[in-house]
Structure 1
């Protein structure tokens, strides 16, 4: 538990910079939506008002899809099912009792005779959406990637089949009629505005940050304490709420509907709208709906045939879906991430206000503890990567792990970080973590970097570090301040608002270290941190690591092939060969150990080369 003093609380802004930025962005989009509604209300006819009302309803549904797919990177084909469930639930709850007795004679008693107002029914639907989201999301989100996408398609088919089969409740494949048509322009605009706020703000919450980090690199996200299943479940439940709210409005907008209205055609339309605008942002969802609705309305003028520029056009059934498919293909071809890509409006710069608070709270020292490997082994089929290793590491020390390529160093580090399960033996990290896993080890104070850099390229430099800081700080404002402090330490504060994908290689290495330090770890595990760096960059990194150790008294365990770095920085050197520890002592002892010379250096010439590097 992190304590917060009264002075620290007073120095923090009321809203974190990220939330202020998101709130302003959402208000800007809401203003555009409200102005469009006001324009058609004052100057448009009934037909135009229906178009804008329908667009607002579809925007709510697409935002629901964006909350999940845009943040997790998993394409959902099943959100049309949520829209259908919301529509049928609202239809049953709001249908006049007299009509219900004739249209739904066999309706179960607990569903009959409610005759609620739209907003009362909407409240019930939202609660139902949370329950359905949890019920469907818990098993579905045990999958990932394409498996999860296919599972959502299966969910759509199952829901459609249930709606058709439940004749006593839904009238089966026959039209479900008699629903009051109480949803008009302003109801749709208000609900869509709330959905815009929710979608834009969710992106900056701890769940949204975690989901986006896991979408970029699931293993890297686990290393900074992200439980991707919990984050994805939160996104799934909120997306179900938005989609079912859209379904509730759709029911009272149409008045009559059937299960086919919420099947493949609707699912395709929702995806097309989101892909055209840009799946990863609420701005993309907003723009995709606007562009698609305009295209659809224009194309529908010609779907029934007619004369255009002197040419007689035939009746072209399915022209609208065909044009949507072509538009989606063209957008993917020319702009694979959609018209707006990953970008939000970002009307405020979140790093500026965060940097002001960056010096408000000095770094706290991590608690004491140890990491121990007890008879640790790891086998891959017939290959023994780590063989019966017993080691203990203390805080306030820097240990280097060296050895030939393929000696098992990275496998050992992965087990110490909870990233790989041992085949035999155990790892103790000085405190209970329950079931061993990378995100639990990270939350317990074991931070790490990777041999192959694992940053989150689609997130900004600041967001990369905030993801980690959010695991140990009491709120987002404190996490932003802590992230800016670590970026300043690594000389990256000037890049805070830039996408991490645009950083040069050496800066990416620094970002990964900054992200690990933001966890306030007891131990920092580094896998070849100087790989790919020049001599100047390596010297700067050595100075930073030495300063961090002195300031925080944390334990540092690093794998490195640069002998100058190891011998100058480390107080202890562990040498591994063929998965076994062959030496453990000071750098001077490692240099003179015959087993090390034979296994790692191989010859007097190589030893002389090592001695030269450490001079």
Structure 2
């Protein structure tokens, strides 16, 4: 026990490897940005310095968009609104009082005469952005997917309309002028550096892992305790804060602006920059801004017309936006995930390196091991006129292995889904210590009900290690402890050497084992397995049986298993429940069930029916 305590205290004090990697990556990007800025500062002219300053401001805005869209997978059109709000708030707070009395004669008294420094105003703007992010985010994330994207577009339109309508505060559609132009190269670079750190580290936090998992598979994420709405709200608020910081700098960079400067064109430019570089990584945002700014600066030389290569060219208004659109289309065509895809630098990570051997911690037992049974009372589920589960009453004890078998379409998976909180019963109650009337998979997972799926639901764009850390973080005290626990489960399942590879690169049987490892990382009271041996060969199946038996013996957890491999079921299970047409027709020891006339009739009857259908077709 003393050794165990020492291990736990050590794991908590060590910075997680993911954070160390993220920190080094962020530092590398910051160094590259600072060196570029230093070169322009020493050898460039004022115009070149303004270009780099603008690029740093845009990088801050695009990183705000990446924090949200890159991690959640929801394309946001609304972050330009936060840039606009940040710009107007900064303009009002920093404008000289004497000029303010002339330019904003009808400004409400509580907003007038502050004349703050830029950094004081920036603090106020960031607090304001956090509040607005919370207010807009809470109703917004009752939606998902394209519905959420359309809602962000609605937010942009609402903010634009308010800026135009609020003439006493914003001067309406007329230029808002008189803002001190105090933003220099190094201020913009400094704020952009903070945004790089924020974006890169967020990806590895609990919220970042949760949003990425839900983006890959929302249902699978809920099964490991992820509340995707809370995680997405955190990403939305942080993204809004970064975008508002960019707006604060943009106000003092431009000196004069109007609502249209933060409307569709600006939102499109931000989105184009992110898509060109790669939406799902901070490296992609960084590269997208660099490439896009360079392209824009070159194109602007031609936009005004004149003699080019001996040809007289007309003035081409909108050429910059057109070239951005073409560049975005070309990148999507050739590299759909952007120039850098979902890859970060990962300077400390070696994808092909073998992980140090980790001895499975057989003395680590889940804290919920002594909890009571799962019970279902008169459980039914109807889909239109089809009854999938019909008035089922069962109880499952901890420290036991129960198999649920039955013909195809008997309702086994639907029953398991209700026990896992993934499907709401049409009637009846599931008890996991207390009655649960509202289905909620992530709450069931946090209460100690872990599961795998009939169709594998790993998170393909995340690494093998990250797949398990997402689950471990729900029950472990910190990310370092979660990482250590995840490595133990991977070692148990023989997957430790694949820890830093994308889960999508695993073979079918390995992904099955990864799903089991992820479920075990929750330290569950009950483990629900839906055809875990499907697609495995005989050797892999035997290994899985051995692992499950060992886990049950070590942790004293309950296992509920759906499986068509009768050899596996009879060798592993102590109790078998047979379901046919949504009803329980047998419940007992394997030997009893095998000789039960109702079970024999159900299986033989289904085979006979299939044979008759085949004869009819012939």
Sort the TM-score into its range (normalised by shorter chain). Answer: over 0.9
Indicate the residue corresponding to 2:375 in structure 1. Answer: 372
Confirm whether residue 512 of structure 1 aligns to residue 537 of structure 2: no
**Displacement, 1:436?**
3.5
CA distance in 2, matches of 1:293, 1:176: 25
Partner of 2:85: 85
Q: Deviations over 1:522-568 (max 9, x none)?
A: 00000011111111111111111111111111100010111011111
1:22-421 maps to which residues of 2 (within 5 A)?
Answer: 22-349=22-349, 362-365=363-366, 366-368=368-370, 369-421=372-424
1:362 CA drift (Å): 4.5
Distance in 2 between residues matched to 1:485 and 1:335, nearest whole Å: 36
TM-score, normalised with respect to structure 2 = 0.95
Per the TM alignment, residue 434 of structure 1 is displaced from its structure 2 partner at its CA by 8.4
Q: 1:596 aligns with which of 593, 596, 599?
A: 599
Tell me the distance in 1 between the aligned counterparts of 2:453 and 2:405: 16
For residue 8 of structure 1, report the CA deviation from its aligned partner: 2.5
CA distance in 2 between partners of 1:34 and 1:204 (Å): 24
Task: State whether structure 2 residue 555 is matched by structure 1 residue 530.
Answer: no
Give the secondary-structure state (helix, strand or coil) at the position aligned to 1:471.
Answer: helix
Question: Per-residue deviation at 1:5?
Answer: 4.0
SS in 2 for 1:469: helix
Give the Cα–Cα distance (whole angstroms) in 1 for the partners of residues 48 and 594 of structure 2: 82
| TM-superposed deviation, 1:356 | 7.2
Specify whether residues 67 and 588 from structure 1 end up closer, same or farther in structure 2 by C-alpha distance, changes over 3 A only. same
Indicate the RMSD between aligned Cα atoms, in angstroms.
1.8
When residues 364 and 463 of structure 1 are mapped into structure 2, their CA distance, relative to the original with a 3 A threshold, is same
SS in 1 for 2:475: coil
TM-score (norm 1): 0.96
Alignment-derived partner of residue 614 in structure 2? none
Q: Taking structure 1 as reference, are residues 53 and 69 closer, same or farther at Cα in structure 2, changes over 3 Å only?
A: same
1:573 maps to which residue?
Answer: 576
Which of residues 468, 480, 483 in structure 1 aligns to 2:483? 480
Contact 2:8 2:481 in 1 (8 A): no
Q: How far apart in 2 are the matches of 1:158 and 1:211?
A: 26
CA distance in 2, matches of 1:130, 1:566: 53
Q: What are the ranges of 5 or more consecutive residues in structure 1 without an aligned counterpart?
A: 607-615
| Contact 2:11 2:480 (8 Å CA) reproduced | no
SS at match of 2:224: coil
Following superposition, the deviation at residue 349 of structure 1 comes to: 2.1
Contact 1:373/1:427 (CA < 8 Å) preserved in 2?
A: yes
- Checking the alignment, whether the CA contact within 8 Å between 2:360 and 2:489 is kept in structure 1 is no
Conserved in 1, the CA contact under 8 Å of 2:406 and 2:580?
Answer: yes
Q: Distance in 2 between matches of 1:398 and 1:7?
A: 31
Q: Determine whether 1:422 maps to 2:425.
A: yes
Partners in 2 of 1:134 and 1:89 — Cα distance? 18
Residue 279 of structure 2 aligns to a residue in which SS? coil
How big is the shift at 1:361?
8.8
Gap change, CA 1:99 and 1:477, over 3 Å in 2:
same
Give the direction of change, closer, same or farther, for the CA distance of 1:494–1:357 in structure 2 (3 Å limit): closer
Structure 1 residues 434 and 423: CA distance shift in structure 2, 3 A = closer
Matches within 5 A, 1:396-475: 396-431=399-434, 435-475=438-478
Q: Which moved more, 1:360-369 or 1:542-551?
A: 360-369
In the alignment, the residues of structure 1 paired with residue 437 and residue 115 of structure 2 have an alpha-carbon distance, to the nearest angstrom, of 50
Q: 1:564 aligns with which of 556, 559, 567?
A: 567
| Matched-pair contact (CA < 8 Å) for 1:17–1:350 | no
Give the secondary-structure state (helix, strand or coil) at the position aligned to 1:404. coil
Deviation at 1:323, TM superposition (A): 0.3
- What SS is found at the alignment partner of 2:377? strand
Partners in 2 of 1:162 and 1:603 — Cα distance? 65
Measured in 1, the distance between the counterparts of 2:482 and 2:189 equals 34
1:364: how far off? 1.9
Query: Are the counterparts in 1 of residues 407 and 606 from structure 2 also a CA contact under 8 Å?
Result: no
Tell me the number of residue pairs that the alignment of Structure 1 and Structure 2 aligns.
Answer: 603
Q: Is the 8 A contact 1:17 1:354 kept in 2?
A: no
Q: Aligned equivalents of 1:37 and 1:575: distance in 2?
A: 70
1-structure distance, mates of 2:293, 2:197: 21
Give the aligned partner of residue 586 of structure 1. 589
Structure 2 stretches of 5 or more lacking a match?
610-618
Deviation at 1:137, TM superposition (A): 0.4
Change (3 A) 1:349 1:598: same
Query: Which residue in the other structure is 1:610 paired with?
Result: none
Counterpart-to-counterpart distance in 1, 2:85 and 2:282: 24
